[in-house]
Amino acid sequence: MILALCAAASTPLSAQDLTAGARSFNKCRACHQVGETAKNTVGPVLNGLFGREAGKVEGYTYSAANKASGITWDEAVFAEYIKDPRAKVPGTKMIFAGIKNEQEIKDLTAFIKQYDKDGKKL
């Protein structure tokens, strides 16, 4: 029992939950895709998002604001952006109310991060 309590105590409360992230991605799915068969639709594919410069997915037509944003996607930038895309990049085409819950953002980030640029799970 002591071992179980110690194991539970060592588990971070803010750990990412891929299942919760997948549920959160359902909010994104109307415009974005991930995975090996992902295609640009209303929004660009999100495979390999982290480390990529904004406005650089081949075959997707970005807003001038997005292309000129100077953003390179990382966890902090994504967290700020997903809370209110139009506040982070005024003039973006992305119409989305945002996700405000910090844990949901962490879960969503973990879900998206599992896909490399080719849509394969890491």
Q: Where are the domains of the chain?
A: 16-113
Where does the pLDDT of residue 15 fall: very low under 50, low under 70, confident under 90, or very high at 90 and above?
confident
pTM across the whole model: 0.87
Could you report how far apart the first and last alpha carbons of the chain are, in Å? 35
| Between 73 and 4, residue with greater pLDDT | 73
Mean pLDDT for the stretch of residues 22-28 = 98
Would you call 108 exposed, middle or buried from its count of C-beta atoms within 10 A (0-12, 13-18, 19+)?
Answer: buried
φ, ψ for residue 65, nearest 5 deg = -60, -40
Fold for domain 16-113?
Cytochrome Bc1 Complex; Chain D, domain 2 (1.10.760)
Give mean pLDDT, residues 87-102.
97
Tokens 């002591």, residue located: 2
Identify the band that residue 108 occupies on the pLDDT scale cut at 50, 70 and 90: very high
Cα separation, 95 vs 75, in Å, equals 21
